[in-house]
């Protein structure tokens, strides 16, 4: 079974192009300079309706805020169980991203576990950001 692949639109294309290069980027509002995941039609921080989001590289490190083990998938191509993590990135307070933890569903994850970005190559030229435990910081 093949996994679903992202279908970039005009707003998300820079993110997916960077991911294909194994580079994690986040949209930054040109008006207030705050990050937004995902970018929307307006900035969730300053309310600008013309945020001019620009995707900028970020460190790719973070800390686990929460996690869940997925035991049933309703999409083809996902082997269950797998672990999803809610990661806070250090570039901005409350800047959070959800991704698969590649260490597996039995990984010794705890609140504040350090993680680093990793990429799953799911099709030629298509990579999805995920995370891996980074060990003691």
Predicted confidence at residue 137, as pLDDT, reads 44
Predicted confidence at residue 135, as pLDDT, reads 72
The tokens describing 93, both together, are 């307070």
pTM of the full predicted structure? 0.93
Q: Which residues of the chain have pLDDT under 50?
A: 137
Q: Give the residue among 26, 20, 18 at the shortest CA–CA distance from 5.
A: 20
Could you give the angle at the alpha carbon of 7 between the alpha carbons of 99 and 53, nearest 5°? 75
At residue 19, φ and ψ (nearest 5 deg) are -60, -40
């Amino acid at each position: 079974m093949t996994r679903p692949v992202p279908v970039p639109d005009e707003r998300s294309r820079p993110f997916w192009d960077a991911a294909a290069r194994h580079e994690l980027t986040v949209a930054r509002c040109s008006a207030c300079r705050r990050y937004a995941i995902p970018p929307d039609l307006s900035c969730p921080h300053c309310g600008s309706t013309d945020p001019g989001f620009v995707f900028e590289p970020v460190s790719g490190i973070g800390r686990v805020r929460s996690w869940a083990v997925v035991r049933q998938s309703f999409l083809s191509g996902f082997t269950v169980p797998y672990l999803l993590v809610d990661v806070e990135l250090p570039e901005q307070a409350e800047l959070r991203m959800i991704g698969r933890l590649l260490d597996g569903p039995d990984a010794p994850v705890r609140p504040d576990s350090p993680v680093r970005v990793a990429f799953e190559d799911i099709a030629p030229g298509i990579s999805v950001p995920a995370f891996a435990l980074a060990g003691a910081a």
